[in-house]
Structure 1
Amino acid sequence: MVASVRDNRDRSRFELDVGSDVAFANYRLTPTAVIITHTETPHALRGRGIGSELVKGALELIRRDGKKVIAGCGFVVDYLERHPEDADLVA
């Protein structure tokens, strides 16, 4: 079962629970943007769209907070190229 993405501010990462596993995206904050520096999906969950669901949820949270995103991770760069509807978020 997949839960919604949450912002774990204490660990500076977005998290997505999938059963007993957690996919996450580490980030750093600037005054106006969130730099996503690394995404990690547990090996057993790869190839199921979990990483994309994580990034999509992270972008929704970033949008809600009125910030921009800087893709500091290749996975996020690829995601943004495949989803031009999120181009307005790119700093």
Structure 2
Amino acid sequence: MIEVKQFDRESKGFFKATEEEVEAGRMTYSWVNNDRIIIDHTEVNPAFRGKSVGNLMVQAAVEFARKAGIKIIPLCPFAKSVFDKTPDYHDVL
């Protein structure tokens, strides 16, 4: 089972997807003030392509944004495409 964890630092952070301690993917972001993040890059390990790893990381970012009361700016083309296709995520844009 793929697990997604968040690693947040002062001005940047990332979501890391793993399965049995193998990194399946990583999605990086930067903070803008204290009320929004910019998702700037999503990368999936080729061995995990087709397993919705990228979607799981975007979902984790949306859950984080909702809990923290912040907004997301998806500059990463992959993340932007997920937001474009998922109206349920538009509340955090």
Letter in 1 for 2:5: R
TM-score (norm 1): 0.88
SS at match of 2:2: coil
2:20 paired with 1:21: no
2:83 paired with 1:83: no
Compare the two structures and name the one with the higher strand fraction.
Answer: 2
| 1:18 Cα deviation after fit | 2.1
Tell me what 2:54 maps to.
Answer: 51
Q: Percentage identity across aligned positions? A: 27
Unaligned runs of 5+ in 2: none
TM-score (norm 2): 0.87
Q: Would you say how many aligned residue pairs link Structure 1 and Structure 2?
A: 89
| 1:49 Cα deviation after fit | 0.9
Q: Which aligned runs of 4 or more in structure 1 are off by greater than 6 angstroms? A: none
**Cα separation, 1, equivalents of 2:19 and 2:55:** 13
Letter in 2 for 1:75: F
Tell me what 1:2 maps to.
Answer: 2
SS at match of 2:18: strand
2:65 paired with 1:62: yes
> What is the root-mean-square deviation of aligned Cα atoms in Å?
1.4
